[in-house]
Structure 1
Amino acid sequence: MIQITDYPQLEAILWDQKGRTEISDKEAFTYYESRWRYLDEDQLTEDERVLIDRLIAEQGNGHFLPAD
């Protein structure tokens, strides 16, 4: 499980998930893909970039198709 508050941009795109503290890898990958346009890439921390890369490898089988 991923601690939402450890990743500022993930927390920002989960505006409708207030009160949740954790999210599964699968859910996180889905939210990153579907809400990428709301994320500020310049504000991604190194840890969050590593998380996204891991999710792409493990959940997306190396593919990431962010929604426009």
Structure 2
Amino acid sequence: MKFLVRPELPTASVGSSQATTAAVDDSAPLATRPESTYESGKAVQTNGATSGVAMQIHLADYPQLKLLAWNRRDDDLVEEEEAFALYERNWHFVEEEKLSLNERQLIERLTTLFGKGVMNV
């Protein structure tokens, strides 16, 4: 897995007008997410470095989930378990009447998988 290389800030010694800069590797890719191996509907299956296969969800595909994850980019992916935790922890912000059929089905599936059929709200 490749990571984005961030340049170091220039440093200057006290009383010096010249700053040194670190070399930057511009060949690194901008994306830091694992590459997708399978795409099906709204979830992406990826091979993680630490755990076999994990399903990730596109936030942009689920409007209420995106509202709960307001501090992330629209094109971000979240693990299914993290999505369930977001729904469960922040359910009071979910506008149930605005849930699409797809999002309702996702919530039901996540509740079955991670909540053993129960969402503690």
Task: With the length of structure 1 as denominator, give the TM-score of the two structures.
Answer: 0.89
Report the CA distance between 1:63 and its aligned residue: 1.1
Query: Residue in 2 aligned with 1:55?
Result: 110
CA-based RMSD? 1.2
Between the aligned residues of both structures, percent identity stands at 35
More helix by share: 1
Residues 37-46 or 16-25, more deviating: 16-25
Structure 2 gaps, min length 5: 1-55
Q: How much has 1:17 moved relative to structure 2?
A: 2.5
Please list every run of 5 or more consecutive structure 1 residues that lacks an aligned counterpart in the other structure: none
Structure 2 length normalisation: TM-score? 0.52
Which residue in 2 is equivalent to 1:6? 61
Q: Which has the higher contact order (CA 8 A, sep 6+)?
A: 1
Q: CA deviation at 1:44?
A: 0.2
How many residues end up aligned between the 2 structures?
Answer: 66
Deviation of 1:18 (Å): 3.4
